[in-house]
Amino acid sequence: MKKQNFKLTKLSCYTAYFTMSSIFSLPPLLFATLQDMYGISYTLLGTLVLTNFCTQLTVDLIFTVFTKYFNVKKVVRIMPLITSAGMLIYAVVPKFMPEHAYAGLLIGTILFSVSAGLSEVLLSPVIAAIPSDNPQKDMSLLHSLYAFGVFTVVVISTLFLRFFGAANWFYLTLFWAALPVTAAVMFMLSPMPEMDVTSNSEGTKGTKRRTLALALCVGCIFFGSCAENAMSNWISSYMENALHIDKTVGDILGVAMFAILLGMARIGYAKYGKNIIKTLFIGMSGAVCCYLIAGLSTNIYFAFVACILTGLFTAMLWPGTLIMMEENLPGIGVAAYALMAAGGDFGASLAPQLLGVIVDKVSASNIGAELSQSLNLSTEQIGLKAGMLATAIYPVLGVILLIFAAKYFKKHKSVQE
């Protein structure tokens, strides 16, 4: 097929990635409402978050091992419909069967999490397989649309709940459930590029080198995902409970601005970026500084800005690692993208969870109580700051791994052949 025939395919991928953002950003905005209306505990709400990431990770691992048994083109086309089905169940069951509210939320979460996992596994290789004069730009733009989607969902949903009331959350959820149908229709009308379901075979020596190179990329995306998602999941609570900023202001200026910087940085790299390893190094190093400032600074404004700027520095850590993989491992298959998605999703689930554990442990410890008295802060504030400081270890390890990866790729250029 001619190159221009894939324009609608590319636009379909962008639309699907944009609409997928509602899966991650809408449920947390509704948790307080669901708790009040249906008496759902914090533990059960936390279980929904864990279910989300575990389901995605399971999908990633399944595609890593069994990619060749799936019709990738058909899966891509029905993927947005799975998102809509999950969001629909999430809304309808609690509304019309409140006695089974949690079951509906759980089933809906599993369904749209399957779709989210498929999106991470398949949309990047589809974009990579489309002939392009600037494949890095296309990949960076794809991931930037997720960030802008988060911003859109947060702003629209926050304003809707503010003006129409939390009791009308059902209609808001139906609205976000309807949008992925657009992407599904676009995919049905789009041609699909040919994609390798496995990586190219080589000799034993070449295979070992490619395996180690892929392992380095998976490690980098893991640490990058940890750095990004720890802050994205905790920025709202940190601003409200550690910095004592109004929740609405914190969500709009904190969560939304974090997402905007995430998207703008990806757009910026799509337009001007060239050296991806250098970009990743700057991103990891900047993330270290942001976490240290957020955890150590007693100045509210410095800490506030550091939290937001984390979005800027972590923006390219996920898509940039995919670009690094594509540059150094040409001809890589869908299974490799699935493995990369698994590494990213593992980081996205592990880092926020461990940060929460640190907050609880430090807040309840004797050291936390002593620091609370000496610094004139609550034990909760001490715990949150300790969590931010501890999270800095992920980008630190990411910097170390990147240095090793850069030397390895430079020395073993045969992995690119």
The domain ranges of the chain are 1-195, 197-417
The string of pLDDT tens digits covering residues 388-405 is 999 999 999 999 999 999
- pLDDT for the residue 413: 67
Q: What is the mean pLDDT of residues 163-180?
A: 92
**Do the domains 1-195 and 197-417 sit in the same CATH topology, yes or no?**
yes
Sign of CA dihedral 389, 385, 368, 223: negative
- Name the amino acid, one letter, at 42: Y
136: phi then psi, degrees, rounded to nearest 5: -60, -40
**121, two tokens:** 């596994």
Structure token pair of residue 27: 């449920």
Angle among Cα 244, 245, 249 to the nearest 5 degrees reads 165
pLDDT-based confidence at residue 337 (cuts at 50, 70, 90): confident
| Model pLDDT for residues 21-56, shown as the tens digit of each residue | 888 888 877 877 888 889 887 678 777 877 888 898
Is residue 187 within 8 Å of residue 84, measured between CB atoms? no
Collect all residues with Cβ–Cβ distance below 8 Å to 303 and sequence separation of at least 6: 242, 243, 293, 294, 297
At the fourth CATH level, the homologous superfamily of domain 197-417 is MFS general substrate transporter like domains (1.20.1250.20)
pLDDT one-digit tens code per residue, 363-376: 889 998 998 888 88
Question: Which DSSP state fits 201?
Answer: P
CA distance 257 to 241: 18
Q: Return the ∠ at Cα 174 (arms to 168 and 177), rounded to 5°.
A: 145
**CB proximity list for 54: less than 8 A, separation 6 or greater:** 349
Residue 321's pLDDT is: 94
d(CA 70, CA 334): 11
CATH fold, domain 1-195, is Growth Hormone; Chain: A; (1.20.1250)
Cα atoms in the 13 Å half-sphere on the side-chain side of 330 = 6
Question: What is the reported pLDDT for 198?
Answer: 56
